[in-house]
Structure 1
Amino acid sequence: MNVAIVQCKREESFEANLSKAASFFAEAKGCDCIVFPEYFLKKEEKRGYSHQATTIAKERFASLCRLYRMHGVMGSIAEKRNSRFYNTSYLFDDKGNALGRYDKINLERGEREWITPGRKVACISTRFGLAGIQICRDLLYPQITQDLAQKGAKLVFCPTRWCSYSARYPKSYLTRFTEGTLPKEMQALAEARAIESCCAFILANAAGETPKEKLLGRSSVSMPFYGTVAILNHNREGILAHAIDKKLLNSASGAYGKEKGREKRGVRSK
C-alpha cells in the first residue's frame, strides 16, 4: 500500500484550498491513499461556519478520490449535525464512497467552547484492511490508538494541526521552547503509538506560519520496531510518499507477544 501524506498550508480562501487539494491529488497520482491535515480547508471557527461549504468540501473530495482512483482521508472539517458542531474526518474509497467518519474526542482549549467531543473511536473497513482515524490532540491519549488496535486496525491515520508556536498555547508551554528549539512530543508520541499498538501510524500535519502560529510540519510514517521510517523534516509544503510494509505489521504483534486476546487491559501477560 502506497500512501501519500500531504503537508500543506491553509490559505484564506476556501476555494483556493479546494484547488490546492486537487493539485496535491494530481501530484500523488498512482498512490493508493492520500491523507490531508486537520482543518486544511477552512478555519476552525463557529462564526464562519457554512453548511454549504462543508457539503461542497465532501462532494469535491469524493470526486477527487473517484477521479484519481485513490482512497482519501479528508483531514478534518467542522461539521454541524443535529444542532451540534463536530471536528470530523472522513475516509473515502477510490470510488468516492464515504466508508466512515470520526469525530475528534480530545478537543483543544479553543474547540471546547463550541465543538462537541466525539464519543467513540472509528475502525473502518477498507480494501487494505481495517483502518482507524484520530485527530491531533488524540495523540496525547494512548487509549485511542489501543482501542483501534483491539478492534483490529493496522493502519491509523492522524490528521493534525500541531504548532511549534501558537498564540493559543499557554505560556507555561511556550517558555519551554526558545528560538531554534522544536517541540519533540508529536514525533515521540507517533512512534510510541505505532510500537505499542503494532500499527502503521500515518501523521499528516499542516505547514507554514502566520503571525499567530507557526506550524510544526514534520509529517511522518511510524512503524513497529523502527519508529519513524519516513518524515518531511521541515514545515514547508510537500508530499511524503511511502510504501507501508504489511508483512512487518502482521509480524509485530507476535514478535512483541501481543497477539489479539492474549493481553487484557491493565493485566500483564506471562
Structure 2
Amino acid sequence: MKVALIPMKVEVGNFEANWREFEKRFEEALQHDPDFVVFPEYCLTGFEEWDFSGAELYGEILERVSGLAREAGVYVVFGLLEPYKNCVYNSALLIGRNGEVLLRHRKFQEPMRFYTGNTVRTVKTEFGKVSIIICGDLYNKRIAKWVQKKRPDFIFVPMEYSPDYGEPNEEDVKAMSERAELLGVRTFIVNSYPPGGAWVFEKNGTLVASSKMDRSLVVSIETLKS
C-alpha cells in the first residue's frame, strides 16, 4: 500500500486558490503511483471562527474531488465543512477509486457551535479496514475506546494544527506517538501548511517516516491484503 500525505497550503476563505493548490499537489502525488492521497482538515476552505460559510461549498467540493479520484483511480482522504440542518459538522471523507464516498467521519473534539460526531466507523479496502479521525480527536478518550472496539488496520488523521502555535516540536510528535500506541493502529497524520508536516506511526507508536513544512510524504507500507 502506497500513501501520499500532502501538507497543503490553505488560504482561509479562498476556495479557488485552494482548489488550484489541491489539484497541483494531487497531480504531483500521482507521479508516485499512490493508492491513497491524503489531505488536511477542511483543506479547501480553511476555517476562521465562527465563519461556517465554507459549508455552502460542500456539494461542489465533493463533486470535484470525486471526479479527481475517479479519473486517477485512487483513494482520497480530505477534510471539509459539512452542512446539516441548521448546523455544521467538521467532517472528513474517504473517496473510493470510483469516486464514491466510502467513509465519513464527523469530528468529536469540537466547540459547541459545531455539531459533533458520536462514533468511529470503518470500511474494508483491499488493504484492510480503514478509519478516519480528525485532529483533536486523536487525544479524545471516547475516540480511543471506539477505535479499540472497531479495530481498524490503519487510521488517517487530517489535521489543522494552528500556525500561531509554531512548528510541531519533539513533545508534540511524542504525544502523537503515544496516542498511536494507545489506539494500537498504524496511524497516518497530515497537517495544513503553515506550519505543515506529516507523520506515519506504527501501531506500537514508533515513528517510521515524517516530513516538515509543505513537503509531501510518500510511504510504502506492507499490509495484510484481504
For Structure 1 versus Structure 2, the TM-score category normalised by the shorter chain is: 0.7 to 0.9
Of residues 208, 213, 219, the one that matches 2:198 is 219
Count, aligned residues:
221
Counterpart for residue 19 of structure 2:
18
Structure 1: tracts of 5 or more residues without a match: 167-178, 209-214, 248-270
Partner amino acid for 1:56? E
Counterpart for residue 139 of structure 2:
140
CA distance in structure 2 between the aligned counterparts of 1:2 and 1:187, rounded to whole angstroms: 22
Counterpart for residue 128 of structure 1:
127
Q: What's the CA shift for 1:198?
A: 2.8
Partner amino acid for 2:219? H
TM-score normalised according to structure 1 size? 0.75
Counterpart for residue 246 of structure 1:
223
Of residues 60, 67, 73, the one that matches 1:56 is 60
Q: What's the CA shift for 1:11?
A: 2.4
Alignment of 1:205 with 2:191, yes or no, is yes
Q: What's the CA shift for 1:105?
A: 0.3
Question: Is the Cα–Cα contact under 8 Å of residues 145 and 156 in structure 1 kept in the other structure?
Answer: no
Distance of aligned partners of 1:66 and 1:206 in 2 relative to their CA distance in 1, 3 Å threshold: same
Question: Is the Cα–Cα contact under 8 Å of residues 25 and 68 in structure 1 kept in the other structure?
Answer: no
Counterpart for residue 175 of structure 2:
189
Counterpart for residue 7 of structure 2:
7
Question: Is the Cα–Cα contact under 8 Å of residues 99 and 126 in structure 1 kept in the other structure?
Answer: no
Distance of aligned partners of 1:72 and 1:186 in 2 relative to their CA distance in 1, 3 Å threshold: farther
Counterpart for residue 258 of structure 1:
none
Runs of 4+ in 1 over 3 A off after TM superposition: 45-48, 181-186
Counterpart for residue 117 of structure 2:
118
Distance of aligned partners of 1:200 and 1:135 in 2 relative to their CA distance in 1, 3 Å threshold: same
Q: Which has the larger radius of gyration?
A: 1
CA distance in structure 1 between the aligned counterparts of 2:54 and 2:202, rounded to whole angstroms: 38
CA distance in structure 1 between the aligned counterparts of 2:118 and 2:51, rounded to whole angstroms: 24
Residue by residue, what CA displacement relative to the aligned partner does 1:43-95 show, whole Å, maximum 9, x if unpaired?
Answer: 32454515542111111111111111110111x21111122211011111111
Distance of aligned partners of 1:186 and 1:123 in 2 relative to their CA distance in 1, 3 Å threshold: farther
Counterpart for residue 91 of structure 2:
88
Task: Please state whether the residue corresponding to 2:164 is helix, strand or coil.
Answer: strand
Of residues 101, 106, 111, the one that matches 2:109 is 106
CA distance in structure 1 between the aligned counterparts of 2:101 and 2:172, rounded to whole angstroms: 28
Q: Superposition pairs for residues 153-168 of structure 1, below 5 Å?
A: 153-163=152-162, 165-166=164-165
Q: What's the CA shift for 1:114?
A: 2.1
CA distance in structure 2 between the aligned counterparts of 1:101 and 1:60, rounded to whole angstroms: 17
TM-score normalised according to structure 2 size? 0.88
CA distance in structure 2 between the aligned counterparts of 1:58 and 1:129, rounded to whole angstroms: 24
Of residues 63, 76, 86, the one that matches 1:72 is 76
Counterpart for residue 207 of structure 2:
228
CA distance in structure 2 between the aligned counterparts of 1:118 and 1:48, rounded to whole angstroms: 17
Counterpart for residue 266 of structure 1:
none
Residue by residue, what CA displacement relative to the aligned partner does 1:152-204 show, whole Å, maximum 9, x if unpaired?
Answer: 301110001113634xxxxxxxxxxxx9x854443223222332333210001
Partner amino acid for 1:155? F
